[in-house]
Chain A
Amino acid sequence: MTTAEPLAPVRLLAKNLRVDLELIAGMIAPETRVLDIGCGEGALIAHLFHTKACDARGIEIDMKLVTQAVAHGLPVMQGDADSDLAHYPDGAFDYVVLSRTLQAVGRPREVLRQMLRIGARAVVSFPNFGHWLVRWQLLARGRMPMTPTWDRMWYETPNIHPCTIRDFFDLCHGEGYAVERWLAADDAGRRAPWRRAPWLANLFGEQAVFLLRARR
């Protein structure tokens, strides 16, 4: 963790930009090379190209979304975070972004390693499994939580590797990644005011965004 940031209300600039994408875009410097893994229709890369003149590209596993993205003129390739990052050279990008996808990949730790090999920095967002509502549902009902964020039954959810904000801090520590910035937010993208206390963020944040750098 580095310097505390002034808390600014989130502005929803692009109507269709998913709220955490807005938070992610805020962590990316203009005119940089960006790879967005799990880019969907390419909302973030379009936003980064138009507003920050970034050389932004995407990988998406769902062919329908890839086709939509390319048909909108965005440089997106069909590929898989688990298997396709290994083909990029070291340091090919300034930022590698993984938004709300970490919990769905087969080997999250390996994906993070690849991200920080091919990029100088990684931006990772994920839904927080430590949120109080998730905890409460498991405690009170004794069943897998169903919330607006975690809304798929356990047998059909793609989210096979859920984690909490504190888990993620531990992983970064263990892997030797410097957390340059982080924030927790609710589902509407409002930043949660618990920056100095990860345990509070872990209780009230519905999602988290981390900016990581590999320690050299």
Chain B
Amino acid sequence: MHDGVKQVLTPQAIAHQHVVFEDGLTLDSGVTLPRLVVAYRTYGTLNAARGNAILVCHALTGDQYVAERHPLTGKPGWWEMLVGPGKPVDTERYFVISANVLGGCMGSSGPRSPRDDDETQLWGTDFPAVTIRDMVRAQARLITHLGIARLFAVIGGSMGGMQVLEWAATYPEQVFAAIPIATAAYHSAQNIAFNEVGRQAIFADPDWEGGRYWQSGRVPARGLAVARMVAHITYLSEQALTRKFGRRLRAGASVLGPYSDVFEVESYLQYQGSSFVRRFDANAYLVITRAMDYFDLAADHGGDLAQAFAGTKTRFCLVSFSSDWLFPTSESRAIVRALNRAAANVSFVEIETDKGHDAFLLDEPDFHRTLRGFLDGCAQHAGLS
């Protein structure tokens, strides 16, 4: 990492497709955002009955660019493997919507947006705390704006899966099918702990400047990169790291050099960290990780997760991955059991893989077959041709 890394293309420089809700949004914290901006992308065509819409919810560091080249990084969309013409989430059949989460940095209202009371200033650390439910409420405004009364499906992995669960609990009549992937109904102490290490790394970077770094034009690149490095380890598995890097040394590295990069896995992590800071905002990282930490769906329903889904007609499909230790299968199974208690219609599959939490973003044929088949079955039940 280098001092004074500038985000060459700042997210602000890109005109993201968006909708503005001038009546704002009241958050779980009690604070009202005077103006709500939701940046989004759509793929495919909404049918005449407006019944083929699928909302894809992104994870912590994802965004709305699900199935197209990313305007900042130039890389393919993060779920292009799954979403597109003829793909499991077939855009020739379904109308796919994805929105940047509230608190994010790709065009939706967040710490990087101009303040409502002074357009020359950014929100920065004055941006209010948001919850997963706030994110979902913002998405619901978008869905209504698009003229959609009921979503055919809501799909998401990791934090996106939290949003799926929240959608099913908060707007049960508006969700025909829910697919929470590699997720949990609450953020565990271990997961909060990892997030806290990331946040402390950002706070400790002098370039963070108490959250007002945007005034100096610098970004807390080292802090944000370390946050990303820690998080990235949690997305992989021990087997995956061993398979990719083992104990291999960098070319020309000396085993006894304590102050330089020695192992390949180190360079890999540093690359992950430095490429991340070019596209992500540190304050947004703080806001969104907090939203995940606050998430506890059962606590919002009298301590009983089954209550969150009482009487639900939604068809659920839960997917977990065997080597995911960030959101392990036991968390998905706990959700399945709560759904059983609510007599909900639930499918549940654990995919065998050594790729860890990241597997939901990777080429996992069994997962893709599962998703395609589940959507096909639901389409039959929903009367979609």
Contact = CB atoms under 8 A, between A and B. Distances in A.
Interface of A: 55, 57, 63, 66-67, 69-79, 84, 87-89, 92
A73 B377 contact: yes
B70 interface: no
Kindly state the interface size class of chain B when it binds its partner. 20 to 34
A63 B349 contact: yes
A158 to B, nearest CB: 20
B352 A63 contact: yes
Contacts of B194: none
Nearest to B367: A67
A89 B343 CA distance: 7
B377 A55 contact: no
Given A73-B380, A89-B342, A89-B343, 9 more contacts: A63-B350, A63-B352, A70-B374, A71-B374, A73-B373, A74-B377, A77-B347, A88-B343, A89-B341
- Interface SS of A by simple majority: mixed
Given A79-B336, A88-B340, A88-B341, A73 B348 contact: no
B374 A66 contact: no
5 contacts: A63-B349, A72-B377, A73-B374, A75-B345, A88-B340
Contact of A84 (B340, B349, B374): B340
A69 B366 CA distance: 12
A56 to B, nearest CB: 10
Interface of B: 315, 317-318, 336-337, 340-343, 345-352, 366, 369-370, 372-374, 376-378, 380
Contacts of A84: 337, 340
Contacts of B374: 70-71, 73
A75 to B, nearest CB: 5
B376 A73 contact: yes
Contacts of A88: 340-341, 343
A78 to B, nearest CB: 5
Contacts of A71: 366, 369-370, 372-374
Contacts of A69: 347
Given A67-B366, A70-B317, A70-B374, A75 B337 contact: no
B337 A70 contact: no
Contacts of B350: 63, 78
Contacts of A78: 348-350
B343 A66 contact: no
B366 to A, nearest CB: 5
A75 B349 CA distance: 11
A50 to B, nearest CB: 10
Given A71-B370, A73-B374, A79-B336, A66 B349 contact: yes
Contacts of A92: 343
Contact of B370 (A67, A87, A89): A67
Nearest to A90: B343
B385 to A, nearest CB: 15
A60 to B, nearest CB: 10
A42 B99 CA distance: 36
Nearest to A33: B343
Contacts of A70: 317, 347, 349, 370, 373-374, 377
Given A63-B352, A70-B317, A72-B377, A77 B370 contact: no
A93 B343 CA distance: 9
A72 B349 CA distance: 13
A78 B366 CA distance: 14
A67 B340 CA distance: 19
